[in-house]
Structure 1
Amino acid sequence: MKGTILMSPRSHRLAAVSALLTIVATSMGCAAQTTSGNSGAAGGPSAVPGFDPQAGTIKVGNVLALSGPISATAKEQLVGQQAWFDKVNAAGGIAGKYRVQVVTADNQYNPQLAVQAYQKIAGDVVMLSGVLGSPSVNALVPILDRSSGIMVPSAQDSHLRTIPAVLPPFSSYQTNVVNAVSYLVKTSPTMAKARYCALVMDSEWGKADTDAVTFITKAVGAPLGIVTKFAPLDTAFTAQISELKRDECDVVVFGGAANNLPSVVAAATQLDFQPQWIAEFIANSTAFKKSPIAEYLTKHVLFTGPGAKLDDTSVEGIRVLREALGQTEITVQHVYGYMQALATTQLLEKAVKNGDLSGAGLRRASTELDKLTFQGLGGEVKLGAPADRVLPRTSTIYAYDVAAPSGLSAVAVQYQAPEGSSPDF
């Protein structure tokens, strides 16, 4: 079993694209690839694993949680990717002639399974259009380096921006925390005197959030309290919430996922702990809208991430997603996957133009792209050499609202902290 190919039928909603697809930078190659093989038509790229010029197909891969504690939200990323790839394919494909197919493998949100999942599909894809979780991304970097491969991460630690095996489309975790705290202070100046703490996963993600809250509290002159940690699959948080309450935390940065948040809210409710929480969008699930935690989220939690107002079809990316999803509510996870597909497409377009879809060719194409753009869903990523990349400095801030799509209502679109940010973020 090599993985699952997800192909949606062409829909009348996904009409032909009227303009050429935007070319942007990204580099990624998965299996050990060469430029040898059957050449394509009239000087086109030669066949490599995952690219069949005669069939007119390019296969890209995902390593993500098809099963496990966050499978429902993770699958929304695939839906978002497919929405854009369907539009590309309706217009004839990459460079107007190569249709994109998506191959998936399951890491169950478990980094120990990421390498096995990747090996199942490595020989079938030219690159990875999504790898879920910083630990899984880090596990695959040395493997991709051996084959000159490249991946688009479903992770946002700022250190990923300089890794040649990674094509980063998003603002970093650090930037999202900086912007969220800045937004709180801007909208309520008394928050500059609040006590800021953190409840974070014991991982690089958690370290990123800790670094960010340390930076921004110093910038705004706010006191910094404790940082307490948990394991990715933890379901009991009474001890950590008790610590945060004893420390009299007014604002808590939460670095965790949707499988963790209900247990956090349950413990906070039981202990009557009601700070302002800041969380990444990955901590949200559409299921929360009809759950007992919805009221607490509405009163106490801000979410950060990419995107715009999720019902604003004047934004190109939202309009395409709306057409693709029909009556399905748009989530930030859909937006996230859609942006991954945009980055992947821009890289593939450049590599096809260069005539080389090998791993080395994709990496080279990523260095030749000046930037990645995202149809109003995120800031530009400056590319070029990996060491010179610059991630966006903007984040969209969401309040929780059960009446809004997926429960998130954008209160500040592409907000950028006037306090500035660390160049490391």
Structure 2
Amino acid sequence: MKTSHPLRQTLAAAALLLASAVSFGQNGVSKTTIVLGQSLPLTGPGSALAKPFHQGAKMYFDRVNAAGGIHGRQIELVTLDDEGYAATSAANTQKLLGQGVFSLFGFYGSPQVTMVYPLIKNSETVLFAPMAAADEFRGAQYPNIYSLRPGYSEEAAAVTKHAETVGARKFFILYAGDSESQAALDSATRVITSLGGNLLGKDTLGSAGLAATVDKVLAARPESVLLISDSVAAAPAVRALRTKGFRGAIYGFSNTGESLLAEELGPAGAGVVVVRAVPKSDGTRVAVVRELQEDAAAAKLGKPNVYMLEGYIAARVYAEALRRVGKDPTRAKLKKAIEGLDEVSVGGFRVHFTEDRVASRLVELSVIDSQGRVRE
């Protein structure tokens, strides 16, 4: 796939970091601990998604540690705040690698992952379950990345096929200007057209006044509008579209955040369809969801959302791989253990890494109802 322009920029910047890449002599394993490194935005752009992911992962690792750890070792997750900036993420990664972490875990953002990857490319160090859905990370050029979620192409395909079933194949895309949304836009543009959708136009949220942007959308007479942004930018766009009379289908990618968008919009979000790559976070059918709800209640973190669930599942899958590594973990053994997870149920969530570095192809659509609640 052709790399989008922002990702090319971060690739070029990443190349400059190679000269100062750290030694991989330490392996992050002691008699009592296994140390993982994480860089994501606990503050700044992306923090609304990344912070609950981190909370979910830490909750599960805390559960494991309270039960004695993995083969007697505690899992220590060292997390650094990159404030949403790729260069800071790279600097954090150099620091983590210098401290000798066993692997990297749960980074956020496609541009961040692009910049960080050269630092682990020629090593056995794994980057597990990044919150980064650019399609190229699932290709042969990134063999050290193991993803929990599918790429944006699968999300775009699900949206396009749903739109076809409701007779709404004429699309207009509104997207945020950040690099993650640019990566999603590339996939959406390609997939919608390849599946027979009619892309009437696309525009950046915030490139002009919102009213003018919505007027441009309505002038194109689309049947569907796809929003690629976080909930903070998406919610005003939904309100403006509805206020100006748009009654067609409105879709959001997974980075829009079904529960976050529902909270922002309330009943005004009725009919908006949002992609998710994990089960419903407020359901009761899946065991791992029930466990998260119990742990979140005990930790007084409030109602879990899909990002907290994604982090919790990612940690559970990682822990399962560690168990299979055995009592003498190495990075090479970890890669082999991950790749050996073949149709394994992890608390009712099925993962499959054999011959693929993507654990799940789950892409489901949720709809916000007239009460502002998320429905399957």
- Normalising by structure 1, report the TM-score: 0.72
SS at match of 1:164: coil
Counterpart CA distance in 2 for 1:230 and 1:371 is 40
Tell whether 2:104 aligns with 1:128. Answer: yes
Distance 1:272 1:288, change over 3 A: same
Tell whether 2:57 aligns with 1:81. Answer: yes
Q: Which residue of 2 aligns with 1:382?
A: 353
Q: Which residue of 1 aligns with 2:30?
A: 52
Distance 1:402 1:273, change over 3 A: closer
- Deviations along 1:57-95, one digit per CA (max 9) or x if unpaired, are 112122111111332332111111122212222332123
Q: Which residue of 1 aligns with 2:316?
A: 342
Counterpart CA distance in 2 for 1:71 and 1:121 is 20
Q: Which residue of 1 aligns with 2:252?
A: 279
User: How far 1:168 sits from its partner (Å)?
Assistant: 0.9
Q: Which residue of 2 aligns with 1:226?
A: 201
**4+ long deviations beyond 6 Å:** none
SS at match of 1:259: helix
- Deviations along 1:90-124, one digit per CA (max 9) or x if unpaired, are 332123x1111211111212223221222232234
User: How far 1:170 sits from its partner (Å)?
Assistant: 0.9
Distance 1:319 1:271, change over 3 A: same
Q: Which residue of 2 aligns with 1:170?
A: 149
User: How far 1:201 sits from its partner (Å)?
Assistant: 4.3
Counterpart CA distance in 1 for 2:209 and 2:351 is 39
Check the 8 A contact 2:267/2:369 in 1, yes or no. Answer: no
SS at match of 1:100: strand
**Partner of residue 222 from structure 2, selected from 222, 236, 249:** 249
Q: Does 390-399 or 148-157 show the bigger shift?
A: 390-399
Check the 8 A contact 1:150/1:363 in 2, yes or no. Answer: yes
Q: How many equivalent residue pairs? A: 345
Counterpart CA distance in 2 for 1:129 and 1:225 is 39
Q: How does 1:74-223 map to 2 (within 5 A)?
A: 74-95=50-71, 97-124=72-99, 125-152=101-128, 153-162=130-139, 163-186=142-165, 188=166, 190-191=167-168, 194-201=169-176, 203-216=182-195, 218=196, 222-223=197-198
- Amino acid aligned to 1:73: L
Q: Which residue of 1 aligns with 2:374?
A: 408
**Partner of residue 265 from structure 1, selected from 223, 238, 255:** 238
Check the 8 A contact 2:282/2:305 in 1, yes or no. Answer: no
Check the 8 A contact 1:356/1:362 in 2, yes or no. Answer: yes
Counterpart CA distance in 1 for 2:176 and 2:91 is 24
SS at match of 1:317: helix
- Deviations along 1:146-174, one digit per CA (max 9) or x if unpaired, are 44322121112232123212111112222
Check the 8 A contact 1:179/1:394 in 2, yes or no. Answer: no
Check the 8 A contact 2:276/2:363 in 1, yes or no. Answer: yes
User: How far 1:372 sits from its partner (Å)?
Assistant: 5.9
Distance 1:31 1:89, change over 3 A: farther
Q: Where do 5+ consecutive residues of structure 2 fail to align?
A: 1-20
- Deviations along 1:271-328, one digit per CA (max 9) or x if unpaired, are 444432211233137665564x3333224x1111123243333311111101101162
- Amino acid aligned to 1:99: Q
Report the structure, 1 or 2, having the larger helix content: 2
Distance 1:113 1:174, change over 3 A: same
Q: Which residue of 1 aligns with 2:15?
A: none
- Amino acid aligned to 2:112: S
Counterpart CA distance in 1 for 2:28 and 2:351 is 28
Counterpart CA distance in 2 for 1:159 and 1:266 is 34
Counterpart CA distance in 2 for 1:116 and 1:236 is 36
Q: Matched residues, percent identical?
A: 22
Check the 8 A contact 1:307/1:376 in 2, yes or no. Answer: no
- Amino acid aligned to 2:184: W
Distance 1:374 1:241, change over 3 A: farther
Distance 1:290 1:138, change over 3 A: closer
Counterpart CA distance in 2 for 1:277 and 1:322 is 29
User: How far 1:200 sits from its partner (Å)?
Assistant: 3.0
Q: Which residue of 1 aligns with 2:24?
A: 33
SS at match of 1:170: coil
Structure number with higher relative contact order (C-alpha < 8 Å, ≥ 6 residues apart):
1
Q: Which residue of 2 aligns with 1:394?
A: 362
Check the 8 A contact 1:342/1:374 in 2, yes or no. Answer: yes
Distance 1:110 1:402, change over 3 A: farther
SS at match of 1:145: coil
User: How far 1:375 sits from its partner (Å)?
Assistant: 2.9
Distance 1:361 1:391, change over 3 A: closer
Counterpart CA distance in 1 for 2:357 and 2:341 is 11
Check the 8 A contact 2:262/2:269 in 1, yes or no. Answer: no
